Structure 1
Amino acid sequence: MTRSLVFKLSVAFLLVSLVGIALVAFFAGRVSANEFSNFADAQSDSLLMEQLVNYYEINGSWDNLDRIGIGGVGPGNGQVRPFLIVDNQGEIVLGGLDQQIGSRVPRGWLNRGIPIEVDGKQAGQIIFGEGRQRGVPQQPPGNDFASRVNRAIFLAALGATAVSLVIGVVLARSLTRPLQEMTEATQAVAQGNLTQQVPVRSDDELGKLATSFNQMSADLAQSRDLRRQMTADIAHDLRTPLSLILGHAEALSDGVLPPTPETFDVIHDEARRLNRLVEDLRLLSLSEAGELSLVRRPVQPQSLLERAVIAHAPAAQQKQIELVLTAPNDLPDVLVDPDRLAQVLDNLITNALRYTPENGHIHLTAQQNQTAVQLHVQDSGPGMNPAELAHVFDRFYRGDKSRQRHDGGSGLGLAIAKSLVENQDGRIWAESAPGQGATFIVELPLAIG
């Protein structure tokens, strides 16, 4: 399931907040509970000490102390006292901690005893068990309870902030790492290294950005390679007729060749081929730049196909190829420039004639779908494999690598056809299978209204 960057950031911020709240609540709760327990114990000790002082003031001694309830523990209740009381001579006057009244406390216990003072004089000591060794506060036990709790909450918040900071750093690194990789790759592309690729680490917006960058880098590298190949092809196609024209001109000048009509025909044909190549390059450049003038108007599709059949019938008859037209008469009009579309059909039919063998056929059809009219040019030639279909509209591409350039055209016809169709809001593509011929499909927009 795809998770967007907004979702991940929202969850991360929520996680950081929850972790911080949970840590504060946990530590503050633990410390508050402990402090409250200490507060309750201190309050109980203060009350116990007050009861003992009052008892001594009233009775003047510790006699019969075990017969009254002191500190919530009275005689005969079966509970083990958590403390004991000794007089100034170290004799136990209130038993507890497994010690009996009248006996003396073990050596060293008096060192942890808490004096019981009456009118400024020590009247005895209270001794707690080692697990409850405490001091009786000199001020009310609630005075610093709030300060201790506040200090505990502050320390808990400080710890939560540290944990949140660690999580934030990890999150920031996970976000900045792909951005840093993208920045470095972009700088490398800017310096001319078009093969840069960045790792795709997620399927969120950053992952999509990395995928788009990789595609852009690959497209730039492919465009560079195509540009280099196109430059080499243009140089080759221009050099061939120029070499022939210069060679014949020099031969005529030196008297090597006689000035016969055949010699001038060769020079004239090569000059026309050179002019045609230059004109094709100019037309393709204007079309791809969007500067080609188009006069679009409603046109009946059948008339476009009929004109193409009439124009190419002599060439088809010369090669003994059957040129067939099948189109319904009730097709809606399409919004196109008829002259430019005629040029598209000329290129498609010329290409079909070039690859269709003698006694073959070329079938022109038209059909309507919901939003457009499709024109089909189908031949009975050798067809194309998937690799050829992927490049059939590229500049200077020739499916038959063994064919000489002067037999295979300039290699710009289908590229021009594609550019002209797309400039008229249409689409063009090819369908084929080896040995089953090729079909070029031109889809044109309807003339609304």
Structure 2
Amino acid sequence: MTATDAGGRARRSVAARTGEGVLDDTVPMRVVGHLAYRPGPTGWRHSIRTRIMGAILLVSMLTSTLLGASLSEQAARQSRENLRQQAVTKLETVADSYRLDGRVRLGATTDPQAPPQELVTGMEVGERRSYYDGETMWATERLGRDVMLSVEVDGSGLREQDARRFRTLVLGFLGAALGSLALSWWMGNALSRRLRRAATAATAMAEGDPSARTHQGGQDEVAALTRAVDSMATTLQRRLETERAFTADVAHELRTPVTGLVSAAELLPDGRATTLVRNQIGRLRRLVEDLLEVSRLESGSEVAQLEEHELGDLVDRTVRFLAVSAPCDRVELRGDSPARVLVDPRRFERIMANLLVNVQRHGGGECVVTVVRRAVVVDDDGPGYPPEIVDRGPQRFHGTGEHKGTGLGLTIITKQAETMGATVEFSSSRSGGARTVLRLQEAL
């Protein structure tokens, strides 16, 4: 590719770079063009949807656990009571039979060592006790000083009931967890989706799309918020339309008298005062032309005539042509692997001209233009873009830097890029200067 200096002389670049440092993803960039809302880096842990899900899940788990444990405990006590009644009934039958004929029946025993010692310790004559040791229900009655009658009932059925209740409790717990999780997901997602729509509309408005709306109904607080956002968008759109119409009208009204001033200035005799007048009239004419161009671009009536070009050759030809007017002290071209792109040459020339003029005014007059595949990167040696341009993009009539201007140059760049279906990124280069990346559509 070709490198040109301010005098218009052309020379070949000694070396071609591979794009080192051109597209540094670690540097935050502002994409102006095809805009879309992307959530901030809050993460799922800070999402209101996650918090709603967590709250509902926690409450349902606590409720199901406490209720299940309470019901299970009541059922266990009732089962043990039924088993105790069986043992007591069996003991009564065995005791009555023993009193009649002195015989022990139904598997009963008079051995005082057979039942658990916790059951028989300290028993008095005529006293009856029952005890469950976790496997067997015991019932014992002291019939006399030396006679202690004991019966036992197997507690395997009780253990099986406890196991079934535990399984039922676990299944109920899991069912409640899944149900509450699904319900909380639905509720949280519905609320979060409505809030995200409002955030999307608000972000789109902040990016310069006043036609964005939430289009949501309802009577709750979120609906009130979205209606407020829509109302704000409508008001903002009206104000912007009024401002644009006023700007276009002013530019059209000024065009005729400015043309007359240019013609009249050409008739003045040469001199220092005449040169000063002509320069100021020239600045006024360029301002009016920029205003008219911005008005046309913002009206949406502009249609790009896209053609297929090899990006490296296109940049080379464009910079050669612009070097005739010497917009910068030095322009160096570098490139690697240029692609074929869809571009409107006239609009591309306008973008490059404004970029080089911006370098001349604010970037120290020296820049490096690099082609990487379908992107054109312009780096200068100036102080870099102000944070407001990196964060929000250029705004017309909001000039920044040491030599504040109208802010129309960068605005024209973004609008012309949008018309071609391209995007523009504003950031800082590794050397600290301003970096502008123009990404074009790659030809199929």
Q: Which one has the largest radius of gyration?
A: 1
* 1:198-255 deviation digits (Å, cap 9, x = unpaired): xxxxxxxxxxxxxxxxxxxxxx97x779757755753664465567579899xx9xxx
In the TM superposition, what is the alpha-carbon distance from 1:170 to its structure 2 partner? 12
In the TM superposition, what is the alpha-carbon distance from 1:30 to its structure 2 partner? 1.9
Aligned residues: percent identity?
18
Residue number in structure 1 paired with 2:319:
309
Work out whether residues 284 and 419 of structure 1, in 8 Å CA contact, stay in contact via their aligned partners in 2. no
Report the CA distance shift for 1:190/1:343 in structure 2 as closer, same or farther (over 3 A): same
Report the CA distance shift for 1:30/1:327 in structure 2 as closer, same or farther (over 3 A): same
Give the partner amino acid of 1:414: I
| Alpha-carbon distance in 2 for matches of 1:170, 1:302 | 56
Give the partner amino acid of 1:303: D
**2:441 aligned with 1:441, yes or no?**
no
- 89, 93, 105: which is aligned to 1:42? 89
| Alpha-carbon distance in 1 for matches of 2:63, 2:286 | 76
Give the partner amino acid of 1:336: L
| Alpha-carbon distance in 1 for matches of 2:430, 2:94 | 105
Map 1:280-319 → 2, pairs under 5 A: 280-286=294-300, 292-297=303-308, 299-316=309-326
Work out whether residues 248 and 295 of structure 2, in 8 Å CA contact, stay in contact via their aligned partners in 1. no
Residue number in structure 2 paired with 1:345:
352
Residue number in structure 2 paired with 1:205:
none
**2:126 aligned with 1:83, yes or no?**
yes
* 1:13-68 deviation digits (Å, cap 9, x = unpaired): 7877666655444322221111111121122213322444x44xxxxxxxxx8xx7
Give the partner amino acid of 2:418: S
Residue number in structure 2 paired with 1:365:
370
Report the CA distance shift for 1:171/1:342 in structure 2 as closer, same or farther (over 3 A): closer
- 424, 427, 430: which is aligned to 1:431? 427
Work out whether residues 125 and 142 of structure 2, in 8 Å CA contact, stay in contact via their aligned partners in 1. yes
Work out whether residues 356 and 380 of structure 1, in 8 Å CA contact, stay in contact via their aligned partners in 2. yes
Report the CA distance shift for 1:411/1:234 in structure 2 as closer, same or farther (over 3 A): farther
Residue number in structure 1 paired with 2:378:
377
| Alpha-carbon distance in 2 for matches of 1:383, 1:315 | 24
| Aligned residue pair count | 324
- 164, 171, 187: which is aligned to 2:223? 187
Give the partner amino acid of 1:26: E
Report the CA distance shift for 1:312/1:37 in structure 2 as closer, same or farther (over 3 A): same
Work out whether residues 398 and 411 of structure 1, in 8 Å CA contact, stay in contact via their aligned partners in 2. no
Residue number in structure 1 paired with 2:387:
386
| Alpha-carbon distance in 2 for matches of 1:434, 1:225 | 41
Give the partner amino acid of 2:82: E
| Alpha-carbon distance in 1 for matches of 2:191, 2:253 | 53
| Alpha-carbon distance in 1 for matches of 2:258, 2:360 | 31
Structure 1 unpaired stretches of 5+ = 56-64, 85-94, 101-145, 195-219
| Alpha-carbon distance in 2 for matches of 1:380, 1:447 | 32
Give the partner amino acid of 1:378: D
Work out whether residues 258 and 284 of structure 2, in 8 Å CA contact, stay in contact via their aligned partners in 1. no
Say which structure, 1 or 2, has more relative contact order (CA 8 Å, 6+ apart): 2
In the TM superposition, what is the alpha-carbon distance from 1:414 to its structure 2 partner? 2.7
Residue number in structure 1 paired with 2:79:
32
In the TM superposition, what is the alpha-carbon distance from 1:363 to its structure 2 partner? 3.2
| Alpha-carbon distance in 2 for matches of 1:173, 1:364 | 54
Secondary structure class of the residue paired with 1:327? strand
